[in-house]
Every structure is written in C-alpha cells, then in structure tokens.
Amino acid sequence: MTTATHADGHARPLNRQDYKTLSLAALGGALEFYDFIIFVFFAVVIGELFFPPDIPEWLRQFQTFGIFAAGYLARPLGGIIMAHFGDLIGRKRMFTLSILLMALPTLLIGLLPTYAVLGIGAPLALLALRIMQGAAIGGEVPGAWVFVAEHVPARRVGLACGTLTAGLTAGILLGSLVATAVNKSMSPSDVSDWGWRLPFLLGGIFGIVAMYLRRWLHETPVFAEMQANKALAEELPLKTVLREHKSSVVISMLLTWLLSAGIVVVILMTPSYLQKLHGVSPADALSANSLAIVALTLGCICYGRLIDSLGSGPTFMLGSLLLAIASYSFYHGLLNGTEQLIPLYILAGFAVGIVGAVPYVMVNAFPAVVRFSGLSFSYNVAYAIFGGLTPMLVTLWMKNDVLAPSHYVVALSALGFLLGLFLWLRDRSARQSAPQVA
C-alpha cells in the first residue's frame, strides 16, 4: 500500500485550508451527484411517459432502469479519459470540467418531449443524455476522492474520503427531498404532466453553482510536487496500472461491488420497491428514504473516522456484518407490514455508510503518479458492471422472490467481510515482516 499524502505532513491536524477544501469539494460533489441520481426518484413516472403505454409494467420498469444503467455503463470511458489528463495536467482542471459535462444533459432531460410527442425518439434521446451524465460522473467521483486525499495528512485520509462520500450521498438526499416536495405539493396528474421536469431544470442551476464553487479550490500539494520535480507519468498511466498494480485493481473493483450493492439497492431502488411491492405512497416512500440517506451521510463520516483508527481490515469486517444484519432486518420486516419501516430503514441507511471507507483503501492502493487512473479505472469499470446491471438483475429476480434485494445485499456483505479479513491478514503480515527500529 502507498501513502496518499506527504510524509512530512503525516501527523499534523487538519487546518483551516483543509476544512475549506473538504467543504467546497463535498458541497460541489453533492450538487453534481444530485444531477446524476435525480432520475431514479422519478423512475415510475419516466417509465410511464417515455415508453409505450401498452407494455407490461415489469418490462416498463426494466427498460427504465436499463436507461438508468446506461449512465453507469458510460462511466469508464469518461473516467479513464479524465483520469488520464488528471494524472498528467492536474487534478483540479478535471475536477472542474466534470461539472459542465453533467449540468448540460441534466438541463436537457428536463426539456425532453415524451413518447406521446416524439415516439421512439424520446427514450433514445433520454438514453443519449444519460450516457453523457455517466461520462461526467465517471471523472467526478474518483477525482474528488483523489483530490481531498491528497490535500490532507495521511492519518486523516479516511475522514477526508468519508466526508467527501458523505457529500456525494447528501446529493442523493437533496434529490430525495426535492422529489418528496414535488410529490407532496402536486397532484399525481400534475407531476406526470410537468412537475417531474422541475428537478432536472433545477439540476442545471445546481451545476452552475458547483462550477463557481470550484474556482476557489487549489491544486493538490501531491500533484504540484510531482509537477515541480518532473515526476509525472512517462507513459500512458493506465498502462502502468494494468501492468504493475493488478492486485490493487482487483481489490478496488470488489470493494466497489460492495459499494454499489448498498447504494443502488438499499438507497436508490428501494423507494420504487416500497411503492410497487408494499403499496407505500410515493411521498411516504421518499420521506423514509430521506431519513435513511441522512443516516447514510452520518455513517460515511463515522466509518471514515473509524478506518483512520482501526485500519481497513477490522472496519470492513465490522461494517459488512452490520450491513448484512440491518438489510436483512429491513426487507424481512416489510413482510409483516410497514409499521417499522422508518426505524429499520434508518438503521439500514447507516449501515450502508461502510461505503465511506471504500475510497480510503483505493486511494492508498496506487502510487500518486498513477493514482487517479488506477482508482478511476477500477471504480468505474466495476460500477459500470455491478452498479449498472444490479437494478435489472434485482428487478428480474423480484419477479420470483420479493426478498431479492435482501439476498443480494447480504451476499455482498459476506464478500465485504471476506475482503476485510484479507486486508487485516495482509496488513498484519506486513507489520510482522517490517524491520524493527531499535
């Protein structure tokens, strides 16, 4: 494993500039992530408006989540390209460019004609814009993790990454709150007619605000030092990653699979799941979802702080065990009614906070000269596969098993526990083999 920050600043406390960087990066990330995920909160109405009205309901939802998945499938291309230039010309430039690439398609989705007006062109246009969004977020998330990790002391990388991830999840919360407000303040017919467009138009404005905020950020000290010392990559960074860091890529991809299971299933898919399978109203489902995301945001910070103290192995063993218990209790509890929906959903949301510890492992898995490319490739390819296919897989699975979301998340929690055990054994072996200083 490599260290993400300067050795001479390893033990210093966070200073005022660190807090400013974390705050601006997290806030900007929240606004951009809102643009990417607002789609899923209106998946039901989008499915009704952008596909033929006479197809089966399960097929309509399958196709809708398929377009949602296209955003994930496009992430590797955008991520690899932006990471390449991020490793060669600077983290900040790519960190700012991703905002513009997200804001424009979000605005255009809010202006799209529906199937009744445009026919088959409507879902095709929607698909193209989701691909553009995916390319943008592919550079944003890895770039944000690298950016904050390289600004703080090595002993605070977990907290920095957890805080940044909390900012991204706050973007999900913002989307949930906006969707809740739209559904509570409008009749279903008004939402279907024009209300669903408002959150996307608002997202375009958020993008402009986020771009302005990032003007105040500075290049990372790690990249500035490499640039001053002429120590930047001499060949294609991704080529180095694939040749010299295969094990780091595998570990990062498996951890991303765990992350995608928690976020996509428990947070993004569950509002539609509650509406379709348990008869919960859209407003009530989104209200419960908002509380779960608040708990998730807090969980990301807690797990980020915990991994700084305990290390990656114990943190993932404990966090994965809690995620399995909480998700099992939540989905099985719904079979007996929705009376305990909110407390069980809050617990599940907090347990998903283990995702806040994932970037700590990934930013430390690659040397600084290829860090952006290594993290971006591993994260985006894995998320394209697992995050993109999960909604469709779980949707099909639910045709025969209403507890499919529970089974999927518990299975990935088991994987997370095994990865935690592997990381703990590896770190212990490294400590034992390290030379002892007298």
Least confident of 209-223, 224-238, 321-335, 403-417: 224-238
pLDDT digits (tens, 9 = 90+) for 188-243: 889 888 899 999 999 888 888 877 777 777 776 767 777 676 656 666 788 888 99
Kindly state the average pLDDT of the residues 375-380: 91
User: Mean pLDDT, the chain, as a whole number?
Assistant: 85
Q: What is the 3-state secondary structure (H, E, C) of the chain?
A: CCCCCCHHHCCCCCCHHHHHHHHHHHHHHHHHHHHHHHHHHCHHHHHHHHCCCCCCHHHHHHHHHHHHHHHHHCHHHHHHHHHHHHHHCCHHHHHHHHHHHHHHHHHHHCCCCCHHHHCCHHHHHHHHHHHHHHHHHHHHHHHHHHHHHCCCCHHHHHHHHHHHHHHHHHHHHHHHHHHHHHHHHCCHHHHHHHHCHHHHHHHHHHHHHHHHHHHHCCCCHHHHHHHHCCCCCCCCHHHHHHHHCHHHHHHHHHHHHHHHHHHHHHHHHHHHHHHHHHCCCHHHHHHHHHHHHHHHHHHHHHHHHHHHHHCHHHHHHHHHHHHHHHHHHHHHHHHHCCCCHHHHHHHHHHHHHHHHHHHHHHHCCCCHHHHHHHHHHHHHHHHHHHHHHHHHHHHHHCCCCCCHHHHHHHHHHHHHHHHHHHHHHHHHHHHHHCCCCC
pLDDT for the residue 140: 79
pLDDT for the residue 41: 80
pLDDT for the residue 435: 63
Rg, the chain, Cα only: 21
pLDDT for the residue 80: 80
Query: Residue for token digits 């526990």?
Result: 417
66 or 4: which carries more pLDDT confidence?
66
The whole-angstrom separation of Cα 184 and Cα 334 is: 23
pLDDT for the residue 246: 94
The whole-angstrom separation of Cα 186 and Cα 146 is: 41
Kindly state the average pLDDT of the residues 305-323: 96
The whole-angstrom separation of Cα 432 and Cα 165 is: 32
pLDDT for the residue 149: 87
pLDDT at 30 over 50: yes
pLDDT for the residue 7: 40
pLDDT at 4 over 70: no
When pLDDT is cut at 50, 70 and 90, the band that residue 416 belongs to is: very high
69 or 5: which carries more pLDDT confidence?
69
pLDDT for the residue 418: 97
pLDDT digits (tens, 9 = 90+) for 254-302: 999 999 999 989 998 898 889 888 888 887 888 898 899 999 999 999 9
When pLDDT is cut at 50, 70 and 90, the band that residue 36 belongs to is: confident
Least confident of 58-62, 117-121, 173-177, 262-266: 58-62
Q: What is the 3-state secondary structure (H, E, C) of 300-339?
A: HHHHHHHHHHHCHHHHHHHHHHHHHHHHHHHHHHHHHCCC
Q: What size, in residues, is the chain?
A: 438
pLDDT for the residue 8: 44
- Contact by Cβ (8 Å): 359, 304: no
220 or 432: which carries more pLDDT confidence?
432
pLDDT for the residue 232: 66
Q: Which fold has domain 15-427?
A: Growth Hormone; Chain: A; (1.20.1250)
- Contact by Cβ (8 Å): 204, 101: no
pLDDT at 72 over 50: yes
Determine how many CB atoms are found less than 10 A away from the CB of residue 415.
Answer: 16
pLDDT for the residue 5: 46
When pLDDT is cut at 50, 70 and 90, the band that residue 308 belongs to is: very high
Query: CA 215 from chain center: how many Å?
Result: 23
- Contact by Cβ (8 Å): 142, 376: yes
pLDDT digits (tens, 9 = 90+) for 342-377: 999 999 999 999 999 999 999 999 988 888 889 989
pLDDT for the residue 22: 82
Report the candidate in 84, 109, 114 with the shortest Cα–Cα distance to residue 97: 84
**With pLDDT > 90 as the criterion, what percentage of the chain qualifies?**
32
Report the candidate in 155, 4, 167, 14 with the shortest Cα–Cα distance to residue 91: 4
Beta-carbon contacts of 295 under 8 Å, excluding residues fewer than 6 positions away, are 346, 347, 349, 350, 353
pLDDT at 423 over 90: yes
312 or 77: which carries more pLDDT confidence?
312
Domain ranges (residues) in the chain? 15-427
Count Cβ atoms within 10 A of the Cβ of residue 400 and give its class: 0-12 exposed, 13-18 middle, 19 or more buried.
exposed
